[in-house]
Chain A
């Protein structure tokens, strides 16, 4: 479908959900007030690693207003251990530390009281007897045989280690004109939404039903919660009409919900657990990838990259969860947008005494892309070749799609060279070069960064069976239902919560497009987990593809039904009528038509006028399997990871202050191709926001620990996120290469800003440092780090 053929898609339209937020009328979990609701506060471990010898809660329980104190032993006895993404059954984990505390901030005791303030007072009165143990804080040290075992039953601190070889890596390295290798470091940061995680749970003993409201973005949340609480799946009802105050991956909150649900049931009282900022930063289990990359590249004198060896060591913190799988998603774009003949990839996940990792925007792709783009720049530097020329020579060409990479994924479509040239033109690259050179002549440290990135989208989640063969998941479906009432009003029902991605607008726009009616008139509602059709939640840049596809599928079924009813009423064959703007008319005599309202009335009230055999009412459901999904990885680990691949080119100019090390960014231009944009303002907004997030990861944000495992970044004064002063005015240049796999040619968006910005900024900083003979492959490049590097060079 050509873009100009759309009526509502790809047009500037006001997002449906914005209105409630600008009125201050969002419905966030902390806004809930249920009569009789009580509050949870946590006593957290001050030690990175300790045995819990005893807990004395007498003083806490004696405080007026305190209802209960819960220990890890009691919780472990009453619930199932939380699942991890790996085949590692001896890695056991509960919401409260049981026997051992394994990181600073780990929840050890939960206190319930009539107010949050009293619960906090009581939490301070809980006396916990710890026996401190020697912590492990360095991921490489954690791998040594003599390292203290953080999960002794598991036997080792290595949670996952596997090497895949795709193609003739040894031969390509042996035959290469040149090779190079280097280490790149991506330090621990995260998405850090402004809303912390929160949950409210209420047990109804009469119905034996647990109601849960939570600020979640998590696939299979209700199933896992029920399992942990030893309830059947229909014993938990998760309400998806809670507005989530930002997530970008991390709002999983399973441990919070298990704890609140358990307490709600045990005390028979509505239970509220809203993290404060410190709880969120250290005990929310929501920190991000923390990786050491050892990279090797084989290439020709002409600058053609033949082969890559990537060893990624990830420090996933004290518990496994799904974090190790973040090493898996990059398999689906392991060579980025480049033609590379062979790839070796070794993925290692280790446990240390740090806060556990959670899914972060791009699910591991942003660090990998930083390492890949650094490799490309190093090859250019080694050959004395222009960085752009090297990229042009290695990018997959437009006429090569669909293009299958060595690790088995097929890229659906793209025009990488066109997007690159568009971005360079919009940035006026020659003028940027002139500006940089003039700045350098004036004694400044100035550089230009150019980086590409792919955004694998569609959320096929094939990394699950790749990392755990016992997990034979091959569908990651999404559903939507559409109904039209007797008066003709349309209601679209979706099956998950949202955290700002504009899904109500997406669903209404798509249904409006198919049914040729104004999306503004369509009501979008959210089922709860008991009334919901299957959903895998908005992860993996999948909703434009999956919810968009499911909504279009349901609307098309309705359109066919409406056409059939109209044809029957007109006494004509379906082939002799036409659907237009909701009405059905005779092709031969368009004046003879049946209106939308009349058809709705027939469907709901006049069974005698329905075509024989048709069920009454006007409703349709569509459950969409992921395009290209449905198969397990091959024995060599080759797998179709995600269906659709969006592409971005980031071009950024940077200057570094020689004294403070502060990096000033801008101009900043992005060429972006995510196929058809359902709502351009929403897509652009997520791209701008992703870049701001990437600026944080590149220059400022880091969860720091000292050598003894103490956590040093628990506040917004230690963990620095970009404000309006640090984020430059970003310009986006759109390009549209439709995906052949989706109904409107759409691909995913929402991650690409974050996937490309750290690489581009690193490239710009290194370009600025090059005249000093310095280079750095470590993020974040904080002012302190850069300032010290430059000062040391000046002294030398």
Chain B
């Protein structure tokens, strides 16, 4: 089994590691970095529980080998909060609408929704369904997840508007 040296950034922290060629990224994140928030649900790229951001784009970490992540910048669910112990607006909205039950698919859902909101500030219901369409949830029937993402979009727009007003006042 060949081994490879990799260097990557995960949640803002730089890591160097030597990994077997066949080690998947999800196993690397969970077992070697002990970032267990990313979950392995099917390990064949369908359920989306292992979703992470690779250079800002949502990807399935079960379909990527750790060696392929050499040089990448990765965000996992543990990296979504603005500060340790805190919650992002999106995470807080998931709590507000009870957008989860068992919590197993939740990290992948948060990653998919985070990536959507970074691209689309006012997503339609259809756009939200598309964005989480590759993430299976067996508990919620998706309704409260869609509500959470819509609520987050509204709150983020409100925050942006408030920031804009603040900037205008300072300019004036």
Determine if B4 is an interface residue (Cβ-Cβ < 8 Å): no
Determine if B37 is an interface residue (Cβ-Cβ < 8 Å): yes
Partner of B102, one of A31, A500, A753: A500
Chain A's closest residue to B85 (CB) is A23
Q: Can you list 10 residue pairs at the A/B interface with Cβ under 8 Å?
A: A15-B98, A18-B95, A21-B102, A22-B91, A22-B92, A23-B78, A689-B140, A721-B138, A727-B142, A729-B146
Residues of A within 8 A of B104 (CB): 26, 28, 193-195, 245-246
Contact indicator A193/B133 (Cβ below 8 Å)? no
Residues of B within 8 A of A574 (CB): none
Residues of B within 8 A of A247 (CB): 102
Residues of B within 8 A of A248 (CB): 138
Determine if B28 is an interface residue (Cβ-Cβ < 8 Å): no
Write out, one digit per residue, whether chain A residues 32-64 have a CB within 8 A of any chain B CB (1) or not (0): 010000000000000000000000000000000
Contact indicator A194/B137 (Cβ below 8 Å)? yes
Write out, one digit per residue, whether chain A residues 694-720 have a CB within 8 A of any chain B CB (1) or not (0): 000000000000000000000111000
Q: Which of B30, B43, B136, B143 has the most CB of A within 10 A?
A: B143
Q: Which of A20, A26, A693, A724 has the most CB of B within 10 A?
A: A724
Determine if A448 is an interface residue (Cβ-Cβ < 8 Å): no
Partner of B144, one of A17, A245, A688: A688
Q: How far is the CA of A686 from the CA of B141 in the complex (A)?
A: 8
| A370 CB → nearest B CB, Å | 19
Contact indicator B103/A724 (Cβ below 8 Å)? no
Determine if B124 is an interface residue (Cβ-Cβ < 8 Å): no
Number of interface residues of B (CB under 8 A): 60
Q: Which of B46, B103, B142 has the most CB of A within 10 A?
A: B103
Query: Given the known A-B contacts A195-B102, A500-B103, A715-B42, are A246 and B138 also in contact in the complex, defined by CB atoms under 8 Å?
Result: yes
Write out, one digit per residue, whether chain B residues 118-141 have a CB within 8 A of any chain A CB (1) or not (0): 000000010011101111111111
Determine if A398 is an interface residue (Cβ-Cβ < 8 Å): no
Q: How far is the CA of A194 from the CA of B78 in the complex (A)?
A: 20
Interface residues of B (CB under 8 A from A): 20, 22-23, 30-31, 34-44, 46-47, 49, 76-78, 80-81, 87, 91-92, 94-98, 100-107, 110, 125, 128-130, 132-146
Chain B's closest residue to A115 (CB) is B31
Instruction: Sort chain A's interface into a size bin.
Output: 35 or more
| A229 CB → nearest B CB, Å | 28
Q: How far is the CA of A25 from the CA of B84 in the complex (A)?
A: 12
Residues of B within 8 A of A192 (CB): 138
Give 18 A-B pairs besides A247-B102, A688-B144, A689-B137 with Cβ atoms closer than 8 angstroms: A18-B100, A22-B87, A22-B94, A22-B106, A25-B37, A117-B20, A194-B41, A195-B102, A196-B41, A245-B103, A246-B102, A246-B139, A277-B42, A682-B101, A684-B144, A685-B143, A689-B140, A723-B142
Chain B's closest residue to A501 (CB) is B101
Chain A's closest residue to B103 (CB) is A21
Residues of B within 8 A of A24 (CB): 35-38, 76-78, 80, 106-107, 110
Determine if A19 is an interface residue (Cβ-Cβ < 8 Å): yes
Q: How far is the CA of A723 from the CA of B143 in the complex (A)?
A: 11
Contact indicator B136/A723 (Cβ below 8 Å)? yes
Determine if A276 is an interface residue (Cβ-Cβ < 8 Å): yes
Partner of A721, one of B40, B125, B136: B136
Residues of A within 8 A of B81 (CB): 23
Contact indicator A688/B140 (Cβ below 8 Å)? yes
Chain A's closest residue to B36 (CB) is A31
Determine if A795 is an interface residue (Cβ-Cβ < 8 Å): no
Residues of B within 8 A of A372 (CB): none
Residues of A within 8 A of B128 (CB): 724
Determine if A163 is an interface residue (Cβ-Cβ < 8 Å): no
Determine if A220 is an interface residue (Cβ-Cβ < 8 Å): no
Chain A's closest residue to B102 (CB) is A500
Contact indicator A117/B22 (Cβ below 8 Å)? yes
